[in-house]
Structure 1
Amino acid sequence: MAVLLVAASAVVAGARSYAAIGQWAASAPQHALTRLGTRVVGLLNVRVARGTATIRRVAAQVGPDGLADPTGADPAGGQPLAVNGKSARGSRGRETPAAHLLAAVASDGRTVTQPRIPDKTNEITCFASLLQPYDLTGVTVTPDALHTQRDHARFLV
């Protein structure tokens, strides 16, 4: 988890590439690395962040949807939700298509959940499973036009 916290902190600080994230991690102050839970090395108990290659490898394993659920919020309590799908920028490889994500975002801007849409399917088939875990009593759900489907309306009602 420390690797992801370091990466997220670097991005918040302005890093826009894995190399920049690695540079930020290498030069981060000890008090920041302590709060982020990085490993301790040597007799002097110096905090050290993982290198750029490790950060890249962990981020690739987590995927674009990996942080939304642990950091999201349950929409219970009547807070409106917006549901929309997007392709993740920069996620396409030579042999792999871009990652397509379906997100539910609360009115205060927090992402409630954002799973990746499986290949060879689309976001229409994933709408109900996206919202199924939550109690939507009293919650206004506003999907984009693609989700104006009878089955979706039945699910929400």
Structure 2
Amino acid sequence: MVDREPPLRRVLGPVLAEVIVTAARAYGVVLRTVPGGVRLVGSHTLGGVDADGDVLTADVIVSAVGDVPAVDWLTGSGLTLDGGVVTDSRGRVVDGIVSAGDAAVVRGACRRPHWTNAVEQARVAAAALLGEDVAGRRFPRSGPTSSAST
């Protein structure tokens, strides 16, 4: 497994990531960090990946390159866009409009797509829309942020 940063650390944090990485290595998974990323190698048939000059081959290559929120259609709408729709900590964009999931970027936080926060963000944003905006209930600011879009 090749990643730009230590595997799973960004999504799970250092402690849980290390537990999973240790278990993966025990099962024979080879893990490699390549900060500059990799380049696919081959013309008609994929032959491997170039990882900083080393060509790595495998029986199967799966590429998980990330996501880009499809918010271009909102350009000119008056909403603040910065890699997604900018929200407050409760998912509010402006009065009567909320955003959750991949499309949401919490002001002052880093967007980290992960499915678990899509559910929590949707709950918090729905509560804000329904006027049930309870103090202390917050949109997730750190850790992963969703994979569903609204």
TM over 0.5: no
Pick the TM interval, shorter chain. under 0.3
Larger helix share, 1 or 2: 1
